[in-house]
A and B are shown apart, each in its own frame.
Chain A
Amino acid sequence: MGALGGRVAVITGADQPLGRGLALALGDAGAGVALVGDAGALAPLTAELESRNRRAVAVEARVGEREALERAFATAADELGGPVRIVVHAAVPAVAFERVAFEDVDDARWDAVWEGTMTAALAVLQASFTHLRGSGGRVVFVTPTVSMSGAPGLVAYAAAMEGQRLLAKSAARQWGPDGITVNCLAPAPEHVPIGVASSEVSLAPPALGGPGDAETDLGPVVVFLASDDAHFLTGETLCADGGVWMAP
């Protein structure tokens, strides 16, 4: 049955390798998985989950719009036969990954990265509130450790990741009484296409040898955060980066 048996999970950003690995882990833990985003790009992953005999559906929606997400969550519940209980937000506007010297960042780029990321994060949280309130729901944001380390050429991206991390903490504080927990999973920077190795922002080599695999190393951590066993954790950031950052 698995730790998430019978649950419905929504995940954004599963068209990227990191989100894909997390989605596969959620499915293998027994959750029905709704992949929200560009349904065409998500079709191969839906097929992969189905080939493993997992319940999965791709739902077309713009991640930056609350109403669109609320409809997508409703579709997920209908298609997968139960209310959405788990939301994993890994989507980031693709432009956010581009490494650009600060002097060459213009207003359009700042807007696309900072506002684009934060608007989506807020919309995901608000849609989650609508669907999870009172249900013991779980929200997990994926915020690479660059949010805490900073990185040259990635000022707007680091700001957006740290903005997301603190949005999660505020939501955790405010929505505890509503039965919703909100946590962050912080993988090593190698998991996103920003061209940053851990060794660029930390002297310490990864204690466990490397950044790990999205599905088999990070997957179990997101499954734990989404499970009943994590019911007393909220507002936390779990650095699953192979033992580099070791925060807090």
Chain B
Amino acid sequence: MTADAPLAGRTAIVTGAGQGVGRGIAAALARRGARVVLAARRAETGEPAAQEIRDRGGDARCIVTDITRREDVERCVASTVEHYGGLEIMVHNAFQGGRLHRLEDVDAALWATNSRTAVWGSYYSARFAAPHLRRAGTRGRLLLITSPAGVEGSVNIPVYAPVKAAQRAIAKSLAREWGPHGITVNCVAPVAETPALAGAFAANPVLKERVEARTALGRVGDAERDVGAVAAFLASDDASYVTGQTIVCDGGSFLGL
């Protein structure tokens, strides 16, 4: 391990890595020396993201994975371990849902989209990574990507809040349960420029102004430089004594923790 490559010799899986925050985290981990598997639902996004990392000299491959399918996650982890010989860092970021709704109108389908990706995705990620993280010992890391909405609630997308909150509770409980093995479990709650946020800004032009006005640093974060860097810190040896925590990485917007 060197100062430039604090994650050298480690293997990471990042779910939802085809775009947005996941893509930024994958790039940030690779830049710091990790071998990265980009678990993406669609090869059309996952392959170019992996290629971009390889073009910069990193080691990356895409494994098409639907995080809501148990067998997909199992196969992704198995294939990663077979190819790279282990798994030290599991990052679950994939999420689908997030469209505007009224709580009284929520039906089983809308709930399932949110719950399956955020919560079942966290469960499957933790479950199949567990034996490998245990083998990694004090280098074992589980990171769940949550949201400030998981702490403050959401008036526009109400069911987004409980599924993101559940991820924080999963992280705290697993942090306690896996602490004896040296594994750390943490959350990052980012706000960053992503296709999802661009869509939200396009649908609601005042939102961008409001977000920037409410943000201490006056700008929306960059998925790799701002959010990826924090994820990489939590994945590194420097964060060995940080577990069960949520780092809100939103430029100083939500200050409620």
Contacts and interface: CB of A to CB of B under 8 A. Distances in A.
Interface stretch (B154-162, B207-215, B216-224): B154-162
Given A150-B244, A248-B256, A170 B170 contact: no
B172 interface: yes
A151 B176 contact: yes
Interface string B242-257: 0010000000000010
Contact of A160 (B160, B164, B166, B171): B166
Given A150-B169, A154-B173, A235-B153, A159 B119 contact: yes
B238 interface: no
Contact of B174 (A155, A162, A168, A169): A155
Query: Main secondary structure on chain A at its contact with chain B?
Result: helix
A196 to B, nearest CB: 11
Nearest to A151: B173
Interface stretch (B31-39, B47-55, B100-108, B228-236): B100-108
A163 B166 contact: yes
B165 interface: yes
B169 A158 contact: yes
Contacts of B120: 110
Interface in A215-248: 235, 248
Nearest to B153: A169
Contacts of A248: 256
Contact of B70 (A107, A147, A151, A168): A107
Interface residues of B, number: 42
Contacts of A118: 111, 115, 162
Contacts, number: 126
A163 B173 contact: no
Which bracket fits the contact residues of A?
35 or more
B230 to A, nearest CB: 21
Interface stretch (A32-40, A79-87, A122-130): A122-130
B177 interface: yes
Contacts of B158: 167, 170-171, 173-174
B103 A126 contact: yes
B154 A159 contact: no
B126 interface: yes
A149 B171 CA distance: 10
A118 B159 CA distance: 10
B106 A170 contact: no
Interface string B166-192: 111111111111100000000000000
Contacts of A97: none
Contacts of B168: 162
A175 B170 CA distance: 28
B165 A166 contact: yes
A143 to B, nearest CB: 10
B7 interface: no
Contacts of B162: 118, 162-167, 170
Contacts of A102: 126-127, 130, 173-174, 177-178
A155 B126 CA distance: 11
A149 B172 contact: yes
Contact of B103 (A119, A129, A148, A235): A129
Interface of A: 101-103, 105, 107, 110, 114-115, 118-119, 122, 125-126, 129-130, 147-156, 158-175, 201, 235, 248
Given A122-B111, A158-B170, A171-B158, 5 more contacts: A107-B70, A148-B172, A166-B166, A170-B153, A174-B158
24 contacts: A110-B123, A118-B162, A122-B103, A122-B106, A125-B103, A126-B103, A148-B169, A149-B172, A150-B244, A153-B177, A155-B170, A155-B174, A155-B177, A156-B123, A158-B170, A159-B170, A161-B169, A163-B119, A163-B166, A165-B165, A166-B153, A167-B158, A167-B159, A248-B256
